[in-house]
Structure 1
């Protein structure tokens, strides 16, 4: 316990092994007398964060079974894992909500209390030797907070588990359910580290601070007394520091020292007075006799006993992770209206609009400009639509991935491969559907081979956009930042695609951009596929010479020496793999930034 900013969550994260790579941590952590590093600690423990981050389209049953299959040993049969998940649901009183979705702000789901208990259940399913919880009662009413802590107490006492949690200001009933207590205060003394002002049994807290001059009023919640009378910067009387006869530092109200009553005029403590009080409380604790809790923690019976192999949780095998993650991703795509159904509806709508805008292009000189414009529009639409779609969906799910990956539920390769396997059908079906609608509405060359290369190029453009979207979303933790930065990546690629600026007239200092632009190769492939061998009917009023054809158009665009349709499609295929590799590396670096 402790006031906001006292270091409760920081201490919990350090103990649980959830420090960031840039954090500087000194000291040692031992379990049963032997040192453990962050990786070892995370294998023997579970961690329930303050914010409940669970994929919103999963049901309670699916979330618990998902955690059980991934986190329980591979040697345990699947039916036994499922039964373990159901047993945890019964323990947490979640039976009535098993088939309800978790939900979000856009999708109705379970209540806040049920979501908190579900987060607890996902970590409890492996029965970890140590369970860390950051503010388990955060956002809950008094009754739900009581239920959660009561469950934790039962797990600790009946199943012999060690449970550590931070808690801000619990009710009296919740406070008395805890066994031991550490109270942190702001500040340090002579670089000694955390500002501990009490460490021991819960029942001894009131007596300790009472002995320092902070008397707890009758019928008062001890937690309220701690914050209002001991830690709060607003005190009822001016404080002074005294020293008892045995040299122990003592903090007493000014009224006690001067003979005035403690219920005199209220005075606001100055910042310097508050700092002095906290410093004195820390010094007072440093000079106390060793408590029973500390003697127990350093008992010779526990020293160097180590950690049994049974206490370590092992992740599921790769071949179990991939299909399970793919199944969840597919279910999420189907249940989320903005993913599957939204993509199909958007593809059909935009394709029909484009087809109607460029309906039945003529084969005269005026039709040349329309063909160029329609092909470029389709390239841009395929790239932009795929990038923004993937960026939005993947960016929204990244928080879930980071939380689950940090809790060692699965590995990065399994997640990335399964996610791409689920995304790939959309990046094939949608562009092919768009090609079917647009190709004959616009009136391109009516040949099966031409349509095949057109559809394949659209698929490659879509997949390249997906790779770029994942890459950019991994570069930035904030989705809004990624969305605002994305145009900076896309606009140069679009400008130097060959439509706005002739490829042969690009200044040398910008010419390199066209070679990294998927839209450049996509536009060349579509243009060569359509204009190569095209017969253009020149009319006298259009100012074109007799014999003008599609090959001349390609020459004027600067595409005559840019390779064939097949070669440009091959480059797009290579760029797709290159972007996916970059996306994987960016995702790897993103998770490395979060944990050591």
Structure 2
């Protein structure tokens, strides 16, 4: 297939080049062909929201209809705020946040179920969520493993990946990282191509793209859309893209155009016929002018000096389109497709099976593992941070003796070591936020759900958090001279590990609830500040006021960590008393060993109301809190649309 129009200096016979084997494409893209999808139609699409000022219903998309055949690319164009993205979300069966959505979106003239539509379609966001620590090839590989293509032999999946890398001009970048804030990766245009390719490999029949050329220069924009056009033509793929101010070369790549203004349709039909339509209503497209720019200026009244006159002219244009033979032809074509379908269900003819839940969890675990050791933001920074904290703690509370004057410092060290370890779990917010955004995209595309994310996220953290607990304890515990026995040391490690598991669960819950770095960071910090205040150190449980004791104290995970670390240190240890002004023995804690000038550690615990023997029950409660945070996050993810 020859290229219709290319930017200067960028002429690439992308689909006829000699090094592209036809058989390779047949293998690489066979998964796009086993379908019965012939067209996508929509009619009477109207989206109503509540006006912020008047509080009355307001239509932001009104009575829009259209039809796109298999193998065609359709552009949604219009000025900012005209309803392009809203309409794209409606067509893609995605949430819009609107008060009311009316109309029908049909495949082959019939309305598919939500699950079927998600299986056959994919959506590429304007800012596509990609995991920066993965290479281009790994991104496509994991996308393939999460989709129905995972059931294919590994050799065939690799062939498909190679075919898409070749088709999208990404062969030389195959082993390059996508890029993180710390490590530079591929360019913006290449990221767009990776985003599209990662959706194509998951067997879509319909592809939606939100501003795929936003932020790209004309050459990169043409490259992205021209590669996509070739794939669409070869595989009868339906492509619908909202696009803003395309160049002439990019504009001419589209087969159809839907032009919107103030939510109303001003044109729908072939790109090649748009000039003829506007000429027929008195707006001839000037020669040597980008028709896309001219049309956008024509339907944009935001910067008109005379808004009333411009608005009146815009209404005339809309009425002219509604009364035009082309509009009537679109309505007739949609009605004919709908009547010929007979209401039959859409069937996807494919032998590929969706992966099972355990398989999805394993794939997500593998992807998270690769990310965890490459992306220092995930765990590397936390390892360094906790190691630094351990050194600082061990050298500040250095070699404390088993003496009366060390009891308060030891208590302070126990609180500091446990509370600040959990507080610093806020560093996990950006890493989980990247996983969350990836999940949102993949959930909308029907690849997996909240259960797989929560389970895999929990499992991948276990070895890292245990290693952090062990390293931190190995440094700080012995430097500070806590109870010097192996059993006491490993009990400390165990409680620190549970502390970090609970703290990370809190991060996952808060970030799932409010997926904003600043908000989740603030909420996690606030919650940990509250837990510090009521865990029993600041105010002893015996005198903590009733409200905080019964509302927060008993489900504060730091409470159980602090209590059991205190029991671990003091329940079986004896401390020497100090000397009074007269040189005699003076014990700050009176116990049964006072006559020996000693303090039994249980005397310290009595002030807090702590007693040994409750570790099993407390471990059970901690497990409940840890699992509870994950279940809460799961519920949030399930309820979010």
CA distance in 2, matches of 1:582, 1:70: 25
2:310 aligned to 245, 252, 274, which one? 274
- After TM superposition, give the deviation of residue 22 of structure 1 in Å: 5.8
Aligned counterparts of 2:621 and 2:417: Cα–Cα separation in 1: 19
How far apart, CA to CA, are the structure 1 residues paired with 2:548 and 2:302? 64
* Corresponding residue number in structure 1 for 2:341: 303
Which residue matches 1:395?
Answer: 433
Alpha-carbon distance, 1:329 to partner: 0.4
| Partner SS for 1:505 | coil
Residue 509 of structure 1, CA deviation:
2.0
- Tell me how far apart the structure 1 counterparts of residues 445 and 556 of structure 2 sit (CA, whole Å): 38
Tell me the equivalent position of 1:243: none
Normalising by structure 2, report the TM-score. 0.81
Please name the residue that 2:494 is paired with: 456
CA contact (8 A) 1:69 1:82 kept: no
1:67–1:122 CA contact under 8 A, matched in 2: yes
How far apart are 1:184 and its partner, in Å? 0.8
| Partners of 1:149 and 1:174 within 8 A in 2 | yes
Q: Deviations over 1:58-111 (max 9, x none)?
A: 111001111122223454222211211111111111111100010134320001
**8 Å CA contact 1:529, 1:565 repeated in 2:** no
User: In the alignment, what sits opposite 1:485?
Assistant: 523
Change in Cα spacing, 1:467 to 1:102, as seen in structure 2 (3 Å) is same
Residue 80 of structure 2 is matched in structure 1 by 4
Per-residue displacement from partner, 1:440-462 (whole Å, max 9, x unpaired)?
A: 21112222222222221111111
* Offset at residue 313 of structure 1 (A): 8.1
Measured in 1, the distance between the counterparts of 2:434 and 2:232 equals 35
Is structure 2 residue 586 aligned with structure 1 residue 510? Answer: no
| Alignment equivalent of 2:296, drawn from 218, 227, 243 | 227
Contact 1:361–1:367 (8 Å) recurs in 2: yes
SS of the aligned residue for 2:574 comes to coil
Q: Which residue number corresponds to residue 167 of structure 2?
A: 91
Asked if the contact 1:43/1:313 (under 8 Å) is kept, the reply is no
Distance, in Å, in 1 between the alignment partners of 2:446 and 2:250 is 31
- Structure-2 residue corresponding to 1:46: 122
- 1:178 paired residue among 237, 249, 254: 254
Match of residue 568, structure 1, among 611, 618, 632: 618
Pair 1:587–1:159, CA change in 2 (3 A) = closer
From the superposition, tell whether residues 209 and 364 of structure 1 become closer, same or farther in structure 2 (CA, over 3 Å): same
Counterparts in 2 of 1:6 and 1:22: CA distance versus 1, 3 Å: closer
Cα offset, 1:382, TM superposition:
2.4
- What is the CA-CA distance between 1:532 and the residue it aligns to? 1.0
Q: CA deviation at 1:380?
A: 0.7
8 Å CA contact retained: 1:382, 1:431: no
Match for 1:500 among 538, 554, 560?
A: 538
| CA deviation after TM superposition for structure 1 residue 392, in Å | 3.4
Q: Deviations over 1:390-440 (max 9, x none)?
A: 333212432122112222222322222112111111111111222222222
Q: CA deviation at 1:127?
A: 4.3
Tell me what 1:473 maps to: 511
Distance 1:580 1:221, change over 3 A: closer
2: CA distance, partners of 1:460 / 1:127: 42
**Which of 576, 582, 586 lines up with 1:543 in the alignment?**
586
In the alignment, is the contact (CA less than 8 A) between 2:89 and 2:96 conserved in 1? no
- Identify if the C-alpha distance between structure 1 residues 87 and 556 changes in structure 2 by more than 3 Å, giving closer, same or farther: same
Describe the shift of the 1:519–1:234 C-alpha distance in structure 2 as closer, same or farther (beyond 3 A): closer
> Matched residues in 2 for 1:395 and 1:563: separation?
40
1:195 aligns with 2:264: yes
Structure 1 stretches lacking a partner, 5+ long: 187-193, 236-267
Distance change >3 Å, CA 276–CA 97, structure 1 → 2: same
Within 5 Å, which residues of 2 pair with 1:247-326?
A: 268-290=304-326, 292-299=329-336, 303-304=341-342, 306-310=345-349, 315-326=354-365
Question: 1:92–1:117: 8 Å Cα contact kept in structure 2?
Answer: yes
Where 1:119 maps in the other structure, the secondary structure is: helix
1:311 CA drift (Å):
6.7
Following the alignment from structure 2 to structure 1, what is the Cα–Cα distance between the partners of residues 454 and 524? 21
What is the alpha-carbon distance in structure 1 between the residues aligned to residue 243 and residue 380 of structure 2? 43
> Which one is further off, 118-127 or 8-17?
118-127
Which residue matches 1:263? none
Does the CA contact (< 8 Å) of 1:67 and 1:125 recur in 2?
Answer: yes
Question: Quick one: distance in 2 between partners of 1:494 and 1:436?
Answer: 24
Query: Would the alpha carbon gap of residues 401 and 384 (structure 1) be closer, same or farther in structure 2, given more than 3 Å must change?
Result: same
Distance 1:436 1:131, change over 3 A: same
Alignment partner of 1:523 out of 552, 559, 562 = 562
Q: Does 1:367 align with 2:411?
A: no
**1:434 aligns to what?**
472
Aligned to 1:190: none
Counterpart of 1:348?
Answer: 387
Return the alpha-carbon distance in structure 2 between the equivalents of residues 3 and 210 of structure 1.
21
- Kept in 2: contact 1:57–1:335 (CA 8 A): yes
Provide structure 2 residue ranges, at least 5 long, that are not aligned to the other structure: 1-76
Q: Residue in 1 aligned with 2:10?
A: none
Q: Is the 8 A contact 2:120 2:203 kept in 1?
A: no
Does 2:591 align with 1:577?
A: no
Residues 282-307 of structure 1, C-alpha deviations (whole Å, 9 max, x = no match): 11111122455554444358534652
For the residues of structure 1 that align with 2:331 and 2:467, how far apart are their CA atoms? 64
| More strand by percentage | 2
Number of residue-to-residue matches in the alignment: 549
Q: Paired residue for 2:280? A: 211
Deviation of 1:576 (Å): 1.9
User: Is this contact kept in 2: 1:44–1:312, CA < 8 A?
Assistant: no
Distance 1:184 1:21 in 2: 20
Structure 2: distance between partners of 1:234 and 1:396: 36
Give the Cα separation in 1 of the matches to 2:501 and 2:302.
60
Offset at 1:148? 2.0
* Contact 1:32–1:302 (8 Å) recurs in 2: no
Of residues 270-279 and 562-571 in structure 1, the stretch that sits farther from structure 2 once superposed is: 562-571
